[in-house]
Each structure stands twice: as structure tokens, then as C-alpha cells.
Amino acid sequence: MQDLHSRRLREEFKRMLKTYPPKKSPIKWAIVNNDLHNYKATIKGKKNTPYEGGKWEITLDLPSEYPFKPPIINFLTPIYHPNIATGKTQWKWGSNVCLSLVNWNNLGKPGGWKETITLPSVFEHVEMMLDVYQATGDVDFPEYLVDPNDPFNPEAGEMMKTNFDKFWETAEDWTKKHAK
């Protein structure tokens, strides 16, 4: 079991080098203390979002049960987002991100963690969380991106649903205050 775990950690590191090459990638990342269980990354806000121009520092920690349990993700830089907690609020497994893919309650369920999911895919999903938009008409918020109906920051979730312009303004203000 340990050999499988160690081999997978090395494979994930190689995947990260290939998918997000150092100095050429929009996501800047590094291994913390030469430990393949711990990553630190900076994710940039996307254009035409309230996060444009911002940079968020996150940690991604691989539990000892990895790849059978998903990574633990935490935003270190404050962000106003329905599915990212502010302060020290965390899920019982230690993440401050509400993302179906890494939710330990969704292991093996549709949209949830499977051992075949790779670290570059996790980073891609976290990056996609910053791609917010206003749902209109019959179009709902896709759960894998942003889900204000299942918020980890209830204030941001409610505001996103009921007053999107105010949500956008508040998210921009937080970006300017914390992420620039």
C-alpha cells in the first residue's frame, strides 16, 4: 500500500510539471518542504470576473489515504465567494472550500472524488471556481463551478442569488483589499 501511495505522489508531481510548468503557467505552485503531500499555489483571478487582477494563495494537502481520499484545499487569501469560507471555518476534514470534487461526503458519487482524478484536474476545478456569472432564466449555476444554493459563505451565496450586482461589487472590493 505504501509503495502505491509513494508512486502515485511521484506521478502527480510529474503531471503537475507537465500541465503547469514552472515559470510558464498561470497557476504558480511549489512543493512545501520537499514533501509531495503539500502544495502551495497562487491562482490568478480571471478577466471579466470580480476577481480580475487578484492573486489568491492556496494550500493543497494530500492526506495519507490519497488517492482514495481527495486533497484538502484551503484559500489563505480572503476571497468573497459563495463556496469558499472566510476566517477559520472549515469542513470537518480541514478544507475551507466547498467543491463537490473534493468533498469527503461525495466519495464515489457523481461529481465527487474518484481515485482516478489527478492533481492538475483539481487545480483546474479550483481555478474554475473563480469563473462566476449570473444565472438567468432556466439556466442554473453548475454545481461543479459555483453553487450559491449550497454555500460555505452563506452571505455571499444569498447575495449572489438575490442581488448579483451587489455580490459582484463586494467581491471586487475584497479582491482589491486582500488579493492585490
Exactly one of 98, 99, 129, 146 is catalytic; name it: 98
Domain that holds residue 116: 2-178
Q: What is the pTM of this model?
A: 0.90
Left (φ > 0), alpha (ψ -120 to 50) or beta: where does 6 sit? alpha
> Quick one: pLDDT at residue 134?
66
pLDDT along the chain (180 residues), means of 10: 83 96 91 96 93 96 93 95 83 84 88 93 92 66 69 92 94 97
Spatial distance between the Cα atoms of 70 and 104, rounded to a whole number of angstroms: 7
Grid look-up 505552485 returns 29
Around Cβ 17, how many Cβ atoms within 10 Å? 13
DSSP E strands, 1-85: 28-32, 35-44, 55-61, 72-75
**Burial 89-110, CB ≥16 within 10 A → b, else e:** eebeeebbbbbbbbbbebeeee
CATH number, domain of 125, equals: 3.10.110.10
pLDDT of 167: 95
Would you call 167 a catalytic residue per the annotation?
no
Q: How many domains does the chain have?
A: 1
C-alpha cell at 74: 484551503
Spatial contact of 57 and 77, defined as CB atoms under 8 Å apart: yes
